[in-house]
Amino acid sequence: MGVLFSKSQADFASPQLPPDVGIINTDRDPHELPAFNAESLANPAATILYLPPLLSSLPYELGVVSDASQEQQPMLTETHLPNIDPVSLSLHKALHRFHPATADYAGMPYEEAFNWSELELPEDEEREWYCVVFRSKRLPGSDSEPLYDADKQAHEEAVRSGGLLMYWYGVPNPVTGMNLATCIWQSRRHAIAASSHPNHIRAMQLAAVSYEVYTLERHTLRKSRGQYGVTIEPFDGTEVGW
């Protein structure tokens, strides 16, 4: 998995979203939540600043873990993770609050593009996770349907095989055409294993002929014991997570 969805978020998200879930744009009062629905995503009236994360559904035995205090609930995959460790479960809960920190997320450094400083986990927990970032620009005239279908299948395939906690994807910048998507994995090994699966390979083959620009970045998300917050660090080439 790891190819940007080719259709708008509305194509994938609308069946699971309540009609009053909000997005924030730069022309509105930031405390006012406008309508968040298929039409507003497919044809936004202004630059979209807030888009919800797509979290992997937890193992069946854990049920659904949600935060009732959150007006904005994340989207969940149809497929469930086979397992999750306790600290990754804490991160999964924290990622309910994940969102871009700026409307120009596709043009910003990863550590500045999202609200990392707002994510908190229990003080005594410690772990690291593997993050992959995809920056892209679609090739004019490329057919989006096959890539969209392949990417959706690759995403569910990755959740089923284990390790994928979250997939977030934006909308193209109206000026530059650049977009950004990101995955957070329990470990680098999980990400590497997913890249060998047939749906992922097919999606990557389609991406090669569908994008004018397509670059990958890798980062480490770290939670240190004795702190509540997390940090984003450059990936140093070593194993990350487990």
Instruction: Evaluate whether residue 28 is within a structural domain.
Output: no
Instruction: Evaluate whether residue 93 is within a structural domain.
Output: yes
Sign of the CA dihedral 193, 194, 195, 199?
Answer: positive
Instruction: Evaluate whether residue 91 is within a structural domain.
Output: yes
Q: What is the pLDDT of residues 113-127, one digit of tens each?
A: 999 999 999 999 999
- pLDDT score recorded for residue 52: 86
Kindly tell me if the per-residue pLDDT of 225 is higher than 90: yes
153: exposed, middle or buried (C-beta count within 10 Å: 0-12, 13-18, 19+)? middle
What is the widest separation between alpha-carbon atoms in the chain? 51
Provide the domain limits for residue 101: 52-234
Instruction: Evaluate whether residue 171 is within a structural domain.
Output: yes
Q: What is the mean pLDDT of the chain?
A: 81
Instruction: Evaluate whether residue 21 is within a structural domain.
Output: no
Instruction: Evaluate whether residue 141 is within a structural domain.
Output: yes
- Total domains in the chain come to 1
Instruction: Evaluate whether residue 102 is within a structural domain.
Output: yes
CATH number at residue 151: 3.30.70.100
- pLDDT score recorded for residue 46: 54
